[in-house]
Amino acid sequence: MIQLLRPVLSAAFVKAFSKGLIPSGFLVGGFCLWASMGGNSYQEHLKEQQPFVVIPITYTNPESHTAPDSQEKTPPPHHQEQEQEQEQNHATASAHPSDEMHETQTHNEQPHTQTHDTPAHDAPPHAPSHTSPAAHDGTSEPHAQDPHAPTAAIPHVKLHEEELVEHSKYGLLPHPRVTDGVTPFDSYRKKGAYASTSRGKAVLQILLGPVGLSVDLAQKIAKTLPPEVSILLSPYAASPDEIMAIFKESGHEVWLYVPTETAPVATYDTGPLSLRADFSADKNLEMLKKVMASTTGYTGLFLMNADQTTLSLSSARMQDILSDPLRRGVGLAYSAAEPLPALTSLGGSPSVNLRWLESRRTPLPALMKDLDAQLSPDHPLLIQLRPYPAEIETLAAWLKTLQSGNVSLAPISFDSQNQVK
């Protein structure tokens, strides 16, 4: 039988070998033998070479709401004990508030050290944390008291008249009086017989600012400079109502600075309340209302270096935005090298509440000589000066000399051409 099958098997083996089946079978058999003998150890080796992440999972029994009595409580760290003690002290202090004026952190009013004028806002924005009163559109928001009521430092000074403000979600905004149409500009501007006293004299009108980073400097300015010098208040002031009250008591006229994006943008940071070219019209109007709600009792708004702003002041949307404060009855002033037609057209005719101030970057000693040569009875001179602490005494002495001569000092709201008294 075997003799008969041997030729057949030999032929089949030769045919299978020629087709590669025999080597394949040896390979498969060898792999199976290796897997059974060393495959597990090799797999463990591969697992050791792989990176892994351990995620701890804490199991909490949902049926257990309280820790067992046997569980020891871990005492809080030392820094947590200090925080708890500070919170207790703060709660005790808030229960017995003091009427003393807080010391300011900054006693220098100088702005950023830049190549030319930039707004004084190097401190972080201190948007007033007033509790928003009831909105003018009918939505009610709780508020305990008037955020712009007489301050603790000067309790007898009232910042505004109730008939000249409206409630909004941003705070208190200026508004003409409903009964007779009297505007905030008419009510808060410094009044005097400037039309009669300035006849035959050169009229000098100065806006000093922005101020607001130092209460001490604000008090020095209020006591040193004559009340005819107008004050520019920054919306970034730490205590805008307190500083407003200081100048209200001293009789100075106060204007509110409106930050606008200034070119080059990489050099000048005008802060988070700034109107920007890449903002929509609604966004810029919202920023403007936030600025106007930072305090109350101001005569008007002021745009610094309006000829360098990135905003298109002549565009229809900016014209509508800047018309909003004029409709609210406050003044609008700006500084530029030359009058800007885009802003001049806003005030109408006569524009009794629109002012243009010349941009001046000359140091005060040189500026005084320059102004002495420019002062003329025919043309009033309106300028903005920076509130450098070292120059306040010098400025006060110079203004006293001018007033004793042939120069009449008047606030920014005075319009010699239209004789606004």
Task: Report the CATH number that the domain containing residue 265 is assigned in CATH.
Answer: 3.20.20.370
Question: What pLDDT, on the 0 to 100 scale, is given for residue 220?
Answer: 96
Q: What is the mean pLDDT of the chain?
A: 74
Residue 179 included in any domain: yes
Residue 295 included in any domain: yes
pLDDT higher at 358 or 314: 314
Residue 191 included in any domain: yes
Residue 250 included in any domain: yes
Residues 337-361 have a mean pLDDT of: 76
pLDDT band for position 370 (cuts 50, 70, 90) = confident
Question: What pLDDT, on the 0 to 100 scale, is given for residue 248?
Answer: 94
Residue 332 sits at φ, ψ, to 5 deg, of: -140, 120
Question: What pLDDT, on the 0 to 100 scale, is given for residue 354?
Answer: 84
Residue 238 included in any domain: yes
State pLDDT tens for residues 94-103: 444 333 333 3
Residue 113 included in any domain: no
Burial class (CB in 10 A: 0-12, 13-18, 19+), 377: middle
Question: What pLDDT, on the 0 to 100 scale, is given for residue 51?
Answer: 47
Angle, helices 392-403 vs 364-374, to 10°: value is: 20
3-state SS record for 30-80: HHHHHHHHHHHHHHHHHHHHCCCCCCCCCCCCCCCCCCCCCCCCCCCCHHH
Residue 87 included in any domain: no
Residue 351 has pLDDT above 70, yes or no: no
pLDDT band for position 9 (cuts 50, 70, 90) = low
Residue 11 has pLDDT above 60, yes or no: yes
Q: CA distances (Å), 405 to each of 106, 229, 320, 385, 398, in order?
A: 37, 17, 43, 21, 11
How wide is the angle at C-alpha 297 spanned by C-alphas 296 and 301, nearest 5°?
85
- Pairing outcome for strands 202-211 and 381-385: parallel
Are the CB atoms for 389 and 364 separated by under 8 Å? no
Chain-centroid distance of CA 97 in Å reads 28
Whole-prediction pTM: 0.64
Residues 314-336 have a mean pLDDT of: 92
DSSP letter for 162, please. Answer: G
Question: What pLDDT, on the 0 to 100 scale, is given for residue 120?
Answer: 40
Residue 77 included in any domain: no
The domain in which residue 324 lies consists of 162-410
State pLDDT tens for residues 183-214: 999 999 998 767 656 677 888 999 999 999 89
Residues 146-175 have a mean pLDDT of: 79
DSSP letter for 9, please. Answer: H
State pLDDT tens for residues 23-32: 667 776 776 6
Residues 374-397 have a mean pLDDT of: 88
- Pairing outcome for strands 202-211 and 407-410: parallel
Domain count, the chain: 1
% of the chain residues with pLDDT over 90: 39
d(CA 147, CA 300) in angstroms, rounded, equals 20
Residue 222 has pLDDT above 80, yes or no: yes
